[in-house]
Amino acid sequence: MKEIQLHRIDLNLLVVFEALMVEGSVAGAAEALGKTPSAISHALARLREQVGDPLLVRVGGRMRPSPFALSLIDDVRPILRSIKRVLALPEPFDPATSDRVFRVACPITGRVLSEVLNRLHHAAPAAKLEWLSAPRQVYDAVAEGLVDVAHLAGETRLPDGLDAAEVPGFHWTSFVRADHPAVSTWGPEAWSTYPHVQVNISNDAPSPFNRPAGAAPLERTIGALISEFSSLGPLLANTDFIGTFPTVLMAWDMETYGLRPLPPQIHLPEFRTRFFWSSRLAKDPASHWIRDLVIQSYVEVHEEAERMVARAVSAVD
């Protein structure tokens, strides 16, 4: 038997071959596959040429398989089943019965985390959530599917293999304790006089403070450099530090710790914000579900935070 040229084999030829073996006739195979008898005959002729065997021969009005065809069908059927399984659409995701562990990389905790957890455990009570910081290897972790969805602030270009969705960008507000001495004299001098706190997170997004829009920026003194956001509320409530951060990050700390929102004394434009995930998992039902939940939660919390700070500013004015 001559060598089969796989690059010339049409998958449909194997489908036709299986139908012929089941139906025992060209007409039966044509009806089963929704094709014309001539198309079935043509496909059989092509397959005979490729394998160098008659495969099926008409005997007494019915197609009878050759010994090679009987051997071949045992190999072809598992192949066709495997292809169907590979190409089948993913099974629907049922959060109510899922015990999956979802991983989200996002430096913002507080109300965003609470909202995601509440929604997750209402819809998927057996599922678990790992809420991670944004490590420098986050792009690799997301691309490899180790993290389902991650938060990204800034204009950083995403590597190939990642998809992203834009969400409302960061708006900036300065926060101080309610009886801070700068409240009554808030302006460029107070901005430059009192120390500022800065949070250092592990990503490569440039700080908007490094290149503020407009004229030459006012100087500010960084008096404290911390590695996470959760201590900002207590720190600002008990010191003379100034903290200028995204509104969505501080709105609930503002209420909890009695902080006063003030306009920053430099112009900080809206900071681009996205969530991103692996392109490979874009159609995975469970991955799609968790990122929809996270993104919707974030957007709604962001909008609520903007309203809260706007009300606080209006009440003082």
Q: What is the pLDDT along the chain (317 residues), one digit of tens a residue?
A: 455 555 556 778 888 888 888 888 888 888 998 999 899 899 889 888 888 888 888 887 788 888 898 888 888 888 888 777 667 666 788 999 999 999 999 988 789 999 999 999 999 999 999 998 766 688 988 998 889 999 998 888 999 999 999 999 999 999 999 999 999 999 999 999 999 999 876 555 556 665 555 555 678 889 999 888 888 999 999 999 999 999 999 999 999 999 999 999 988 888 999 999 999 989 889 999 999 999 999 999 999 999 999 998 877 65
Phi/psi of residue 128, each to 5°? -125, 155
Name the 3-class secondary structure at 103: strand
The Cα diameter of the chain in Å comes to 106
By residue count, the chain amounts to 317
Question: Distance between CA 13 and CA 1 in Å, rounded?
Answer: 18
The model scores a pTM over 0.85: no
Q: What is the pLDDT of residue 69?
A: 87
Residue 1: the pLDDT is: 45
Residue 188: its pLDDT value, please? 92
Closest CA to 203 of 139, 135, 141, 276: 135
3-state SS, residue 19? helix
Burial 96-112 (b: 16+ CB within 10 A, else e): eebebebbbbbbbebbb
Q: What is the pLDDT of residue 231?
A: 87
**pLDDT of the residue at 317:** 59
User: CB of 174 within 8 A of CB of 200?
Assistant: no
In our burial notation (b when 16+ CB lie closer than 10 A, e otherwise), range 196-208 reads bbbbeeebeeeeb
Name the 3-class secondary structure at 122. Answer: helix
Q: Which domains does the chain have, with CATH numbers?
A: 6-87 (1.10.10.10), 97-317 (3.40.190.290)
